Amino acid sequence: MKYDALLKVFDELAAYLSAYNVISEGELVLKIRESIKSLLTGAERANLETKLNGTLEDVIFKSITSTEKVSVFSPDMHTRINYQGEVFYCVPTHRYMSNELEAAFLRWARIRSPLSALKQVVKDFMERCGYQVENTVPKSGHIEMIAVNKYKNQNRQRSKHIFIFPSIKFVPQFVDEMENSEAEEEKGKGKENVIVVPTEKTPAPFISFFREHDAGAAMIWVADVEKRTINPFIGNPGDDDAIEANFANPEQARKAVSVWTRKMHFVEL
């Protein structure tokens, strides 16, 4: 079945997908939606949906990710892979490499967890804890934030250097670099390092991190953008009761980490 309007969409999708051997389900759905919106008029879309007997996004997605093609010009990525709690697709003749799958995961993480949304959740949380955000700096791939709690007694003044990432998967390389960074040198001057990452669909990325890496001297917090909450993952805020009191459910979060630790210890034995 061939329609000129549909061919425009498949041409653009084929060009996009040819740059990657692996793509996440979320990224593919988003790209299909963008292509339809930018290339088709309302009349063209309505005409195609009548002829194809279905919602155009669903028809195109099924054509790409299954063997049921609506056009010979449809890209073919019907091999389905589950990785770190997300679904990915690749071309059936391609033996995907682990680095390509990892790159697809990181690409989708940047899309699904915009740093601007994470930044606002962190800012609101710190202000509830009595901190003032004094400086926010966008970096390559993450955001840095300085938050200060100004007690009347300056001997009790605390500050936190916060690093916000779109996924826990970005953290290992950053931690290695941070060991020799200026932020690391400032330890002992009242400043604490905190890494904030968003929730994931499953605990798998966090378990992988816990098994293979550590956070060095930094704490790691997990932000739920939808619920606008934050919970601890690694590390404790010490005597900073305001932070502890504003975590959504710290006991449950720490219990989950404890369970993971015991399970991993059992498996290694």
Give the pLDDT confidence of 180-207 residue by residue, as tens digits: 565 444 444 557 899 999 999 988 899 8
* Residue 54 identity (one-letter amino acid): G
Q: Is 36 exposed, middle or buried (0-12, 13-18, 19+ CB in 10 A)?
A: buried
Sheet holding 79-83, edge to edge: 22-24, 86-90, 79-83
Q: Which residue's structure tokens are 């994931």?
A: 200
pLDDT of residue 213: 77
Sheet holding 229-234, edge to edge: 132-138, 143-149, 158-164, 191-198, 219-224, 229-234
Q: Mean pLDDT over residues 110-115, rounded?
A: 94
* pTM (2 d.p.): 0.85
* Confidence band for 262, pLDDT divided at 50, 70 and 90: low
- Average pLDDT of the chain is 86
